[in-house]
Amino acid sequence: MPPRLVRKALNTYHHGDLRDALVQAAFQEAERGGPEAINISALAKALGVSQPAPYRHFADREALLEAVTAEAFRKFNVILRDVVDKPSQQSKLSRFARATLSFGLQRNGIYRLMFASRTMACAPKGSELHKAAMETLELLIEALEAPAIGLLRERQALKIWASLHGVVMLAEQGLLTGQVAGVSREELVEDIVQEAKLALSVATKAATEREAR
Protein backbone atom coordinates (compact mmCIF):
# COMPACT_ATOMS: atom_id res chain seq x y z
CA MET A 1 0.00 0.00 0.00
CA PRO A 2 1.48 3.38 -0.98
CA PRO A 3 2.19 5.81 1.87
CA ARG A 4 -0.74 7.96 2.81
CA LEU A 5 -0.51 11.60 1.69
CA VAL A 6 -1.07 14.05 4.52
CA ARG A 7 -2.52 17.43 3.64
CA LYS A 8 -0.47 20.24 5.10
CA ALA A 9 -2.37 22.60 7.37
CA LEU A 10 -2.89 26.11 6.04
CA ASN A 11 -1.12 27.79 8.93
CA THR A 12 2.03 25.66 9.04
CA TYR A 13 5.35 27.06 7.95
CA HIS A 14 8.53 25.87 6.33
CA HIS A 15 11.68 26.21 8.39
CA GLY A 16 12.46 29.93 8.65
CA ASP A 17 9.06 31.10 7.36
CA LEU A 18 7.55 31.33 10.83
CA ARG A 19 10.23 33.74 11.98
CA ASP A 20 9.39 36.22 9.24
CA ALA A 21 5.66 35.71 9.77
CA LEU A 22 6.07 36.53 13.46
CA VAL A 23 8.09 39.66 12.70
CA GLN A 24 5.56 40.92 10.17
CA ALA A 25 2.59 40.13 12.41
CA ALA A 26 4.26 41.81 15.38
CA PHE A 27 5.07 44.81 13.19
CA GLN A 28 1.37 45.18 12.36
CA GLU A 29 0.47 44.97 16.05
CA ALA A 30 3.00 47.68 16.86
CA GLU A 31 1.52 49.83 14.10
CA ARG A 32 -1.82 49.66 15.87
CA GLY A 33 -0.78 49.87 19.49
CA GLY A 34 2.95 50.40 19.92
CA PRO A 35 5.45 47.99 21.52
CA GLU A 36 3.12 47.14 24.39
CA ALA A 37 0.68 45.57 21.90
CA ILE A 38 3.12 42.80 20.96
CA ASN A 39 2.26 39.54 22.72
CA ILE A 40 3.89 36.28 21.65
CA SER A 41 1.02 34.06 22.77
CA ALA A 42 -1.50 36.15 20.87
CA LEU A 43 0.70 36.11 17.77
CA ALA A 44 1.03 32.33 17.91
CA LYS A 45 -2.74 31.99 18.14
CA ALA A 46 -3.31 34.43 15.27
CA LEU A 47 -0.82 32.55 13.08
CA GLY A 48 -2.31 29.18 13.98
CA VAL A 49 0.81 27.66 15.52
CA SER A 50 1.45 26.10 18.91
CA GLN A 51 2.40 28.32 21.85
CA PRO A 52 5.99 26.97 22.00
CA ALA A 53 6.57 27.40 18.23
CA PRO A 54 7.67 31.08 18.31
CA TYR A 55 10.35 30.25 20.86
CA ARG A 56 12.16 28.14 18.29
CA HIS A 57 13.00 31.43 16.59
CA PHE A 58 13.04 33.93 19.46
CA ALA A 59 14.34 33.24 22.94
CA ASP A 60 11.85 35.68 24.49
CA ARG A 61 9.67 38.70 23.80
CA GLU A 62 12.66 41.05 23.87
CA ALA A 63 14.35 39.08 21.09
CA LEU A 64 11.21 39.40 18.97
CA LEU A 65 10.98 43.12 19.73
CA GLU A 66 14.57 43.56 18.60
CA ALA A 67 13.86 41.87 15.27
CA VAL A 68 10.70 43.92 14.74
CA THR A 69 12.50 47.15 15.60
CA ALA A 70 15.27 46.32 13.13
CA GLU A 71 12.62 45.76 10.46
CA ALA A 72 11.04 49.11 11.38
CA PHE A 73 14.36 50.92 10.97
CA ARG A 74 14.94 49.26 7.60
CA LYS A 75 11.53 50.41 6.36
CA PHE A 76 12.16 53.89 7.77
CA ASN A 77 15.53 54.05 6.03
CA VAL A 78 13.95 53.23 2.67
CA ILE A 79 11.57 56.17 3.14
CA LEU A 80 14.38 58.51 4.18
CA ARG A 81 16.67 57.46 1.34
CA ASP A 82 13.92 58.06 -1.19
CA VAL A 83 13.18 61.49 0.28
CA VAL A 84 16.81 62.59 0.57
CA ASP A 85 17.74 61.47 -2.95
CA LYS A 86 14.70 62.96 -4.67
CA PRO A 87 15.45 66.25 -6.52
CA SER A 88 13.88 69.18 -4.68
CA GLN A 89 14.29 72.87 -3.98
CA GLN A 90 14.27 72.04 -0.27
CA SER A 91 17.54 71.07 1.38
CA LYS A 92 18.18 67.40 2.11
CA LEU A 93 18.01 68.15 5.82
CA SER A 94 14.61 69.82 5.47
CA ARG A 95 13.28 66.80 3.61
CA PHE A 96 14.78 64.41 6.16
CA ALA A 97 13.25 66.36 9.05
CA ARG A 98 9.79 66.65 7.48
CA ALA A 99 9.78 62.92 6.61
CA THR A 100 10.69 62.09 10.21
CA LEU A 101 7.90 64.32 11.56
CA SER A 102 5.38 62.74 9.18
CA PHE A 103 6.50 59.20 10.03
CA GLY A 104 6.43 59.89 13.75
CA LEU A 105 2.91 61.31 13.70
CA GLN A 106 1.31 58.98 11.16
CA ARG A 107 2.93 55.78 12.41
CA ASN A 108 3.40 56.60 16.05
CA GLY A 109 3.10 53.02 17.29
CA ILE A 110 6.12 52.01 15.21
CA TYR A 111 7.93 55.25 16.02
CA ARG A 112 7.55 54.59 19.76
CA LEU A 113 8.88 51.07 19.28
CA MET A 114 11.96 52.53 17.57
CA PHE A 115 12.64 55.60 19.71
CA ALA A 116 10.62 55.43 22.90
CA SER A 117 11.31 51.94 24.21
CA ARG A 118 14.30 50.21 25.79
CA THR A 119 14.73 47.89 22.82
CA MET A 120 17.10 50.17 20.92
CA ALA A 121 19.11 51.02 24.03
CA CYS A 122 19.64 47.31 24.79
CA ALA A 123 20.69 46.33 21.26
CA PRO A 124 24.30 45.09 21.25
CA LYS A 125 26.78 46.78 18.94
CA GLY A 126 26.99 44.96 15.61
CA SER A 127 23.53 43.45 15.97
CA GLU A 128 20.93 43.57 13.20
CA LEU A 129 19.11 46.36 15.02
CA HIS A 130 22.24 48.38 15.77
CA LYS A 131 23.29 48.30 12.11
CA ALA A 132 19.85 49.41 10.90
CA ALA A 133 19.74 52.28 13.42
CA MET A 134 23.25 53.41 12.50
CA GLU A 135 22.15 53.59 8.87
CA THR A 136 19.46 56.06 9.95
CA LEU A 137 22.09 58.20 11.68
CA GLU A 138 24.33 58.01 8.61
CA LEU A 139 21.44 59.24 6.45
CA LEU A 140 20.97 62.20 8.80
CA ILE A 141 24.68 63.03 8.66
CA GLU A 142 24.59 62.82 4.88
CA ALA A 143 21.57 65.14 4.83
CA LEU A 144 23.63 67.80 6.62
CA GLU A 145 25.63 68.24 3.40
CA ALA A 146 28.68 69.40 5.34
CA PRO A 147 32.36 68.41 5.24
CA ALA A 148 33.66 65.93 7.79
CA ILE A 149 35.66 67.90 10.35
CA GLY A 150 36.25 66.06 13.59
CA LEU A 151 32.90 65.03 15.00
CA LEU A 152 31.08 68.30 14.25
CA ARG A 153 28.52 66.64 11.97
CA GLU A 154 27.87 63.81 14.41
CA ARG A 155 27.29 66.22 17.32
CA GLN A 156 24.95 68.38 15.26
CA ALA A 157 23.10 65.28 14.04
CA LEU A 158 22.42 64.25 17.64
CA LYS A 159 21.12 67.73 18.48
CA ILE A 160 18.80 67.66 15.49
CA TRP A 161 17.58 64.18 16.36
CA ALA A 162 16.84 65.17 19.94
CA SER A 163 14.91 68.22 18.74
CA LEU A 164 12.89 66.28 16.15
CA HIS A 165 12.09 63.59 18.68
CA GLY A 166 10.83 66.22 21.10
CA VAL A 167 8.54 67.72 18.46
CA VAL A 168 7.15 64.32 17.47
CA MET A 169 6.48 63.11 20.99
CA LEU A 170 5.00 66.38 22.26
CA ALA A 171 2.82 66.77 19.17
CA GLU A 172 1.57 63.18 19.38
CA GLN A 173 0.56 63.72 22.99
CA GLY A 174 -1.29 66.92 22.10
CA LEU A 175 1.18 69.06 24.04
CA LEU A 176 2.56 70.94 21.04
CA THR A 177 0.00 72.80 18.95
CA GLY A 178 2.14 75.84 18.15
CA GLN A 179 -0.75 78.20 18.88
CA VAL A 180 1.14 80.14 21.54
CA ALA A 181 3.93 81.03 19.10
CA GLY A 182 1.72 81.11 16.03
CA VAL A 183 3.75 78.41 14.34
CA SER A 184 2.88 75.06 12.79
CA ARG A 185 4.77 71.89 13.64
CA GLU A 186 6.21 71.90 10.12
CA GLU A 187 7.41 75.48 10.52
CA LEU A 188 8.93 74.65 13.88
CA VAL A 189 10.81 71.73 12.35
CA GLU A 190 12.05 74.02 9.56
CA ASP A 191 13.29 76.47 12.21
CA ILE A 192 15.23 73.63 13.81
CA VAL A 193 16.73 72.73 10.44
CA GLN A 194 17.81 76.28 9.61
CA GLU A 195 19.30 76.87 13.05
CA ALA A 196 21.17 73.57 12.86
CA LYS A 197 22.59 74.36 9.42
CA LEU A 198 23.71 77.80 10.59
CA ALA A 199 25.30 76.44 13.77
CA LEU A 200 27.14 73.75 11.82
CA SER A 201 28.32 76.25 9.23
CA VAL A 202 29.73 78.54 11.94
CA ALA A 203 31.41 75.65 13.76
CA THR A 204 32.86 74.30 10.51
CA LYS A 205 34.26 77.70 9.53
CA ALA A 206 35.84 78.17 12.98
CA ALA A 207 37.39 74.71 12.89
CA THR A 208 38.77 75.27 9.38
CA GLU A 209 40.32 78.57 10.44
CA ARG A 210 41.97 76.94 13.46
CA GLU A 211 43.47 74.23 11.26
CA ALA A 212 44.80 76.85 8.84
CA ARG A 213 46.77 78.68 11.55
Answer yes or no: are the C-beta atoms of 200 and 153 closer than 8 Å: yes
Per-residue confidence (pLDDT) for residue 212, from 0 to 100: 82
Answer yes or no: are the C-beta atoms of 129 and 66 closer than 8 Å: yes
Per-residue confidence (pLDDT) for residue 90, from 0 to 100: 94
Per-residue confidence (pLDDT) for residue 8, from 0 to 100: 41
Residues 132 and 109: their CA atoms lie apart, in Å, by 18
Mean pLDDT, the chain, rounded, equals: 91
> Both ends of the chain: CA-CA distance in Å?
92
- If pLDDT is split at 50, 70 and 90, which confidence band does 16 have? low
Answer yes or no: are the C-beta atoms of 174 and 152 closer than 8 Å: no
Q: Report residue 8: phi and psi, to 5°.
A: -75, 135
Per-residue confidence (pLDDT) for residue 5, from 0 to 100: 39
Residues 31 and 72: their CA atoms lie apart, in Å, by 10
- Percent of residues, the chain, with pLDDT higher than 70: 92
The model's pLDDT over 126-185, given as tens digits with 9 standing for 90+, comes to 999 999 999 999 999 999 999 999 999 999 999 999 999 999 999 999 998 888 889 999
Answer yes or no: are the C-beta atoms of 80 and 72 closer than 8 Å: no
Q: Report residue 12: phi and psi, to 5°.
A: -100, 160
Residues 112 and 116: their CA atoms lie apart, in Å, by 4
Per-residue confidence (pLDDT) for residue 4, from 0 to 100: 43
Per-residue confidence (pLDDT) for residue 1, from 0 to 100: 45
pLDDT average, residue stretch 18-27 = 96
